[in-house]
Amino acid sequence: MENSVAYEKATELRLGLPGIDEPAVLSSVKNNKRPLHDEKSGENGKSAQNETAPPSKAQIVGWPPVQSYRKNNFQQAKKSESECGGIYVKVSMDGAPYLRKIDLKVYKGYPELLQVLENMFKFTIGDYSEREGYKGSDYEPTYEDKDGDWMLVGDVPWEMFIRSCKRLRIMKGSEARGLSCSGV
C-alpha cells in the first residue's frame, strides 16, 4: 500500500528530515526488542507466548495511573481506628537526656498511666485534686492537646484525654507549679 511505502522511506534509519536524501548514518540496526515484562503483542495481537507468562494479577508499577498523593491519602482514609493500633505519644521529662514513647490505649485510666510514668522516669507524682493539681511533688504531668495548648493531666475524662493528647511532658519546678495554680 502507498502508505506503508511512504512510511518505509520516511523511517529509513537516518537523522535527516524526511525528504532529504542522505546516506544512512548507520547500517540497519537490528531492533532487539527485549521481551516486555508483562504482556505481549505479537503481530497478531495474541497475548503471551513468552517464556515468562505474567502472573495473573501482577501489580504493574504506576498502573492504574492513580497519583501517589491520592493513593496515600485514600489509604489513610480507609483505615478504621481499630486497625490503627495504639495511640503512641512521646513523653519527655525536664532534665532527662532523651524521650520515651508510650501507647495510651494500653492503660485503663489515669492511675495506671501515672504509675507507669513514675516507674519510667524514676520520680514520684503528688496527689491530684481538681482545685490544686498535683500536690506533694516537684513534678507535674502535662500534655499538649490537639489545639497546641499545654494542659494538666487529669482534668478531663480519660477517654477524652487519650483522644486529644498529642504528647506528654513531665514538668519540673516552678514552671510546673504555675500550671497547677488556678490562673496561670
Partner 1 sequence: MQKKMAYSFPDEVLEQVFSFIQSDKDRNAVSLVCKSWDEIERWCRRKVFIGNCYAVSPRMVIRRFPEVRSIKLKGKPHFADFNLVPDGWGGYVLPWIAEMAGAYPWLEEIRLKRMVVTDESLELIAKSFKNFKVLVLFSCEGFSTDGLAAIAASCKNLRELDLRESEVDDLSGHWLAHFPETCTSLVSLNISCLRSDEVSFSALERLVGRCPNLRSLRLNRAVTLDKIANILRRAPQLVDFGTGYYAAELQPDVFSNLAGAFSSCKELKSLSGFWDVVPAYLPALYSICPRLTSLNLSYATIQSPDLIKLVSHCPRLQRLLVLDYVEDSGLEELASSCKDLQELRVFPSDPFGAEPNVSLTEQGLVAVSLGCPKLRSVLYFCRRMSNAALVTIAQNRPNLTRFRLCIIEPKTPDYLTLEPLDVGFGAIVEHCKDLRRLSLSGLLTDHVFEYIGTYGKKLEMLSVAFAGDSDLGLHHVLSGCESLRKLEIRDCPFGDKALLANAAKLETMRSLWMSSCAVSFGACKLLGQKMPKLNVEVIDETEPPDSRPESCPVDKLYIYRSVAGPRFDMPPFVWTMGEAVRILH
Q: Which residues bind partner 1 (CB under 8 A)?
A: 4, 7, 10-15, 17-18, 25-26, 29-34, 36-39, 41, 43, 45, 47, 57, 59-71, 73-74, 76-78, 146-149, 166
Using only C-alpha atoms, what is the Rg of the chain? 34
Tell me the closest approach of the beta carbon of residue 38 to partner 1, in angstroms: 8
Q: Which is nearer to partner 1, 34 or 108 (CB)?
A: 34
Q: Which is nearer to partner 1, 112 or 166 (CB)?
A: 166
Comparing C-alpha atoms, which of 136, 129, 143 is closest to residue 171? 143
Tell me the closest approach of the beta carbon of residue 156 to partner 1, in angstroms: 15
Tell me the closest approach of the beta carbon of residue 15 to partner 1, in angstroms: 5
- Output the CA torsion sign for 45, 49, 54, 60: negative
Q: Which is nearer to partner 1, 118 or 144 (CB)?
A: 144
Beta strands in the chain (DSSP E): 88-93, 100-103, 127-129, 133-135, 139-144, 150-152, 167-172
Cell digits of residue 69: 498523593
Contact by Cβ (8 Å): 133, 152: yes
Tell me the closest approach of the beta carbon of residue 62 to partner 1, in angstroms: 4
Cell digits of residue 16: 535527516
Q: Which is nearer to partner 1, 53 or 60 (CB)?
A: 60
